[in-house]
Amino acid sequence: MWNWSTRLFLQEARQNLTAEAAAELPSKWTKDELDGLEKTLKEHEKWLSEWVEKQKSVKQNEDPVIETTEMKARAKVLETHLQKLWKRKIPKAKKPKPTSTSTTIAAEETGEAENTTNEDPAQESPIEAEGDGSQVPLEPPRDEL
């Protein structure tokens, strides 16, 4: 069962790797990782076919040459290798970082200075209070419940 599942996974993963490389997108797996999984699969299949042939030569009234515990242990190696790659998350695509220094220089050259503060521009300028000419700074409204 694990041999079959691994073969299907490798086939799909290689197709995805090729498509993602063509689209210049990040891939879940590298070619080396997929090659490593394929190597593990081939070693498992080789071992299994050797022992199946040995088992065929054993008579039914004799003890088996290969035990299920050994088969399960070897299949577990293949399973963990496959699961490690299967559960991996897709890396996020890297976004190009805007260069803030060139933006600032371009704005200064054109005479347009950008507001680099995080405050609201309306809060920076005070409002004159009615009647007496004094200035009152703007504050955000407060929720008073």
Q: Does residue 137 belong to any structural domain of this protein? A: no
Against a cut of 0.85, is the pTM above it?
no
What residues contact 96, with CB distance under 8 A and at least 6 apart? Answer: none
Gap between the Cα atoms of 108 and 105, Å rounded: 5
Q: Does residue 142 belong to any structural domain of this protein? A: no
Percent of the chain having pLDDT more than 90? 44
Please state which of the ranges 43-47, 48-52, 129-133 shows the lowest mean pLDDT: 129-133
Q: Does residue 140 belong to any structural domain of this protein? A: no
Q: Which domain holds residue 50?
A: 2-86
The tens digit of pLDDT for each residue in 47-104 reads 999 999 999 999 989 999 888 899 899 999 999 999 999 998 877 766 666 665 555 5
Q: Quote the number of domains for the chain.
A: 1
Angle between helix 68-86 and 2-22 (nearest 10): 20
